[in-house]
Amino acid sequence: MRVALFLRSGLVPAVFAIVCALVACDDKPKESAKDAAPVVIASASATPPPKEPESTTISMDDAAITINGSRVPFEGAEPRVRIATELGGKPKIAGEAVPLVVMRPAKASKVAIAVAALKDAKAKSVVIRGQKRDGQMAELPVSFGATAPCVAAASIGKDVAINVWTIGGTTARRFAKGMAGPDLTLGSEGFRKAIAACETKVAVVTADESVTWGLVYDLALTTKEDPDPKTKDVTFALTTDAAVAGRKFTPL
């Protein structure tokens, strides 16, 4: 009896509406997983490759040459070839004046090997950087291709005497050892005179294989730092030949 009254009272539609509101009734069918809009997930961007260095850093001691952190030892077969191979394709080598930092205790003969490898790698020239006797940094310009027979050469021998002659072969002038090493005063003076006698302002420095680069560096810088305008703009060349005083030889 009460049910009938409830139905006849018209309360059913109202109750149904309230229930639908509470449970979020919806006349529209739910979207299936297939019909749902695809969710785009941004993928993480790939890590960019490391940038190539804009220049090449080169330094050396008596044991090895270091090129952008990679050491190439002088010990072993054909160090010149191995160094040139390591330099191949490196930036700021071909056609450039390449800086080379050299430690004073390195043997002068090994510096010549390193410079020869830079020539093989198509460097235009080399700028050797290092410490002078007083600890100050200096630079020595090194060029390639000197051929004029009058080009002056200075060599420091095993006995640390300085010999001066020309690459075309002339009688060498000898400057005996000083109190504490090569006589840089007299040796550089004789070297400057030989340089001034040639129109080609290039000079060659070399040494016995036992002699350290520091002594050769001092001789070249002392010669160049003289105020004489005939020699202040000179560039230097090296050689891998066994340059014998008074005899003809070929620089790099």
Q: What is the pLDDT of residues 207-245, one digit of tens each?
A: 999 999 999 999 999 999 877 777 878 999 999 998 999
Q: What is the pLDDT of residues 71-129, one digit of tens each?
A: 999 999 999 999 999 999 999 999 999 999 999 999 999 999 999 999 999 999 999 99
Task: Kindly state the average pLDDT of the residues 122-140.
Answer: 96
Q: 120 in a domain, yes or no? A: yes
Q: 88 in a domain, yes or no? A: yes
Q: What is the CA radius of gyration of the chain?
A: 39
Q: 235 in a domain, yes or no? A: no
Where residue 62 falls among pLDDT bands split at 50, 70, 90? very high
Instruction: Name the token pair of 100.
Output: 């080379």
Instruction: Name the token pair of 82.
Output: 């191995």
Q: What is the extent of the structural domain holding 64?
A: 58-103+110-130
Q: 184 in a domain, yes or no? A: no
Q: 126 in a domain, yes or no? A: yes
Instruction: Name the token pair of 63.
Output: 């044991």
Q: In DSSP terms, which residues pair with 177 in a beta bridge?
A: none
* pTM exceeds 0.85: no
Give the mean pLDDT of the chain. Answer: 86
Q: 244 in a domain, yes or no? A: no
Q: What is the pLDDT of residues 151-169, one digit of tens each?
A: 999 999 999 999 999 999 9
The total number of structural domains in the chain stands at 1
Strand order in the sheet with 137-142: 70-73, 64-67, 58-60, 97-102, 125-131, 137-142, 235-237, 202-207, 152-156, 162-166, 173-175
Q: 237 in a domain, yes or no? A: no
Q: 71 in a domain, yes or no? A: yes
